[in-house]
Amino acid sequence: MRIRNTTTATLAALLIAVGGCSADDGGGGDADHTGHASGTSETPSSASEPAPSTTAEPTPAIPDQLPGMPPVLDAANVYSETGADDLSPAAAAARPMVYVPHNSGEVWEIDPATLQVVHRFPAGTEVQHVVPSWDMRTLYATDDIGNTITPIDPVTGANGPRIPVDDPYNMYFTPDGAYAISVAEALRSLVFYDPHTWAEVGRLRIPECAGIDHADFTADGRTAVFSCEFAGRVVVLDVPSRTVVRIIDMPVRNTDMGPQDVKLSPDGSRFYVADSDQGSLWVLDGAATQVIGEIPTAHGTHGIYLSRDATQMYVTNRHSGTISVLEPDTGALITTWTIPGSASPDMGGVTADGSQLWLSGRYDDEVYVLSTADGSLLARIPVADSPHGLCVWPQPGRYSLGHTGVTR
């Protein structure tokens, strides 16, 4: 019954060197809210020179990090502080729970131990994501149609009064924790808020970025890359000044369900940009200046998640019912997992201990639980209409960048 495809692909993922930046608009309309560097080391040249030390040298720190952000402790792995059960005090205080937002306006809470729905509550008109705050003390259910976010106490699971926020289709936090960013898809804008008072402190309209959607940040925290789903491009933002640096067109500009999730590789050398219509990942260089390659996955490529030890990257293919498992620093395909029957794996996260991958079934009104050991389907849990940005909580790490639990 629980059949899976664990055929290991031969090594290499296809990297087709391509480039191209353009700031002209073209293609794509406004959202309707219905879719949705490595270094080298030298060895001694003479036998008379001292033998190299057997003690591992610490990896150099990332230079010129964004002031106020927790320092990167391992430049070879920006996710080094998100290992299995490496919980901050705030995260450790939370009860284990999976929060499932629905486009029908409800959030459902699933106990990961029993796989049972234990609570549900209304959180607006069309709830898209459940987003952990930068300090990991609060979760927010984002309602883009109702223009509110609903705070959730992760210790008790109780929800509080809704907070006015403009068009929060998605939400991120700057790496220093100074700003919450409402990804206002319908407005083609990023709206910046004080995350303590929720007073608006500025907004950046980006008319060239139809369908502004997902994001990630460079290792130093100074640059952000946001996908433009309905424009076939990404926009690159300077975080300190909150200004657009450049716009990069994808080599094929898909403007129906184009660029989706964005993920920085552990070594910081590249960004992966999921493209649903392309059925692949576009690869940007680590400074987000150009497209340097493409890695085919499957139709409906959407969400990108890392294993707890950052040695595997799980890419959901929601129109194919599969998950591509890649080596995250090179993009090499390791294997492909297939969810049996009709399935539409969308967004979610890995459990704190790293043993399970939870995903919403966007078009099948269910949630999938997969073993990260072999991709086997452990459970499929019926939920309400159009489950979307599912959040598995708690998550390891020192701070949250938002979305469904991007931590570092």
Give the model confidence (pLDDT) of 353-364 as tens digits.
Answer: 999 999 999 999
Whether the predicted pLDDT of 229 surpasses 60: yes
Nearest to 289 by CA among 35, 95, 19, 16: 19
Q: What is the pLDDT of residue 13?
A: 40
CA distance 204 to 57: 43
CA distance 86 to 106: 30
- Give mean pLDDT, residues 21-47: 37
Confidence of residue 60 (pLDDT cuts 50, 70, 90): low
Residue spans of beta strands (DSSP E) within 123-249: 127-132, 139-143, 148-152, 163-164, 170-173, 180-184, 189-193, 200-205, 212-217, 223-228, 233-238, 243-249
CA dihedral 340, 275, 133, 187 (to 10 degrees): -130
pTM for the predicted model, two decimal places: 0.86
How far CA 298 is from CA of 247, 282, 333, in Å, comes to: 26, 13, 12
**Mean of pLDDT over the chain:** 89
Q: What is the pLDDT of residue 277?
A: 98
Q: What is the pLDDT of residue 35?
A: 41
For 65, which DSSP code?
P
Q: Are 374 and 110 in contact (CB under 8 A)?
A: no
Give the 3-state secondary structure of residue 91: helix
Q: What is the pLDDT of residue 122?
A: 97
- Give mean pLDDT, residues 256-262: 98
Q: Which of 43-52, 135-144, 179-188, 295-304 has the lowest mean pLDDT?
A: 43-52
Domains and CATH numbers, the chain: 89-407 (2.130.10.10)
Contacts of 306 (CB under 8 A, 6+ apart): 79, 82, 263, 266, 312, 313, 314, 328, 350
Residue-wise pLDDT tens digits, 288-344: 999 999 999 999 999 999 999 999 999 999 999 999 999 999 999 999 999 999 999
Residue-wise pLDDT tens digits, 387-407: 999 999 999 999 999 999 999
Whether the predicted pLDDT of 273 surpasses 90: yes
Q: What is the pLDDT of residue 306?
A: 98
Q: What is the pLDDT of residue 54?
A: 40
Confidence of residue 347 (pLDDT cuts 50, 70, 90): very high
Q: What is the pLDDT of residue 75?
A: 93
Whether the predicted pLDDT of 61 surpasses 80: no
- Give mean pLDDT, residues 210-234: 98
Q: What is the pLDDT of residue 63?
A: 85
